[in-house]
Amino acid sequence: MRKLLVTLSILIFIAFTAPCFAQQQMLGVLARKNVAGGAIYLAETFETSEYDTTGCGAAPCYTEAGAPDGDTNTAGLDMVGSLCLTVDPTEGLFFTLADDDEYYVTFRARYSETLESNEIFMQIFGNNGANLLGMVYVSTAGKPYAKAQGGSNSADLGAVFTATTSLYFKVRYKHVGAANNEIELWYWNGAAWSASVSNLTGTTNYDIDTILFLNSADAEIFYFDHIKVSTTNIADPT
């Protein structure tokens, strides 16, 4: 059985453009999720049952940090279907992927109340989950941003992502080399993807093998649903 040790960073923004990362904590053996072949490498809706946690033979696999809940009722949340993923503060759900230099990820997200600080809700890792490649976060003003590790923050996406709003996002990460690695972010306007914002100056020299949906908040709850992962563009997240 393939084993992979990955980490959950407890992430605290000490300034708007300067996130500081605390010591990472080791987690255990990954859990396997079987996914049909085709353009979409992974598709998780949380509808039929919570993600499989019976053991990992090959990627894609899942690892929990803390106790995220994949059986949350979506009533009143404006998510997809009847069930979604709840991630409480400092918890998260890792998806381990086959090593690749480029991935597209789409998902629907929401949070429970007004944020007290800028909060990270998605990260991308390489080197068996050990090295941070990029992140997506939302400001206290409800503006989403993307940042490649070692690079700068993107412009704000322009979408209003507040506690009363559920949005689909698309994230693309491209490993170029020791410099100029790319992260790009869109939101779905109901009919098409928005114009993107990006940061093209990342410096972490690894392919992608792990994505993480997390909650760096102190009190607020984050919700995720309808997660898709592909090595090619995802035209429609619904």
Helix (H, G, I), strand (E, B) or coil at 112: coil
Nearest to 199 by CA among 98, 116, 124, 117: 124
Q: What share of the chain is helix, strand, coil (3-state, %, to 5)?
A: 0, 45, 55
Burial 155-192 (b: 16+ CB within 10 A, else e): ebbebebbeeebbbbbbbbbbeeeeebbbbbbbbeeee
User: Are 191 and 179 in contact, with CB atoms under 8 Å apart?
Assistant: no
Does 38 score more than 90 pLDDT? no
Q: What is the pLDDT of residue 56?
A: 55
Distance CA 72, CA 82 (A): 8
Q: List the structure tokens of 57.
A: 């033979």
Q: What is the pLDDT of residues 150-194, one digit of tens each?
A: 999 999 999 999 998 999 999 999 999 999 999 999 999 999 999
Distance CA 8, CA 80 (A): 26
Rounded mean pLDDT of 70-76? 93
